[in-house]
Amino acid sequence: MENCQCSHGGAALGPGVGEAAGRDLAQPSRRGFFHVCMAAMTGIAALVVAFPIFSFLRLPKRIHTAKSIEVPLAGLSESQALFFEREGTQIVLIYTNKEAKAYDAACTHLGCLVSWDQNDRVFRCPCHGAVFDDQGAAVKGPVNMPLKKVKLEINKGVLVIA
């Protein structure tokens, strides 16, 4: 057995003992680094998953906020949809077959906001695939209740949702 050159003056402990002690001291920091990396990757993965979901659920881009909604009839074109926010309720106004209709844009399944598919002239819910026709009736998906109608009036060529 060799004599140790360190301060305790005793015999060397051998290569296995010293390495094991060094590893014990180093492991917590490696483990900590590993945990930080795992947490960072988990956070990034959560963002990657959450971003498309929130993109689907976000409000339509063209949204108007008002207490009373007034839209000139002459400004509407066939199959057009306009989204409004009124006192916390999302309202969609559509103009089809020369008739204006307004609905609460919340899907009657679980409340996601529907979007208007101008080509197929239907409302589509991004959450579970419900489809509503331009009369608000449910035609597909896990829903059997129509979109809730919102009362509108025409006053001197202006649509008013009060």
Q: Are strands 80-86 and 63-65 parallel, antiparallel or unpaired?
A: parallel
**The one among 63, 127, 137, 152 contacting ligand FES by CB under 6 A:** 127
Tokens 């057995």 appear where? 1
Question: For ligand FES, which residue of 12, 110, 145, 154 counts as binding (CB under 6 A)?
Answer: 110
The binder of ligand FES chosen from 69, 105, 107, 122 (CB under 6 A): 107
Cα of 2 vs its chain's centroid, Å? 68
- Nearer residue to ligand FES within complex by CB, 94 or 114: 114
CA distance 111 to 114: 9
Count the site residues for ligand FES by CB under 6 A.
12
149: tokens are 């109608």
Contact 90, 117 (CB under 8 A): no
Contact residue for ligand FES among 92, 130, 147, 150 (CB under 6 A): 130
Q: Which residues bind ligand FES (CB under 6 A)?
A: 107, 109-112, 125, 127-128, 130, 141-143
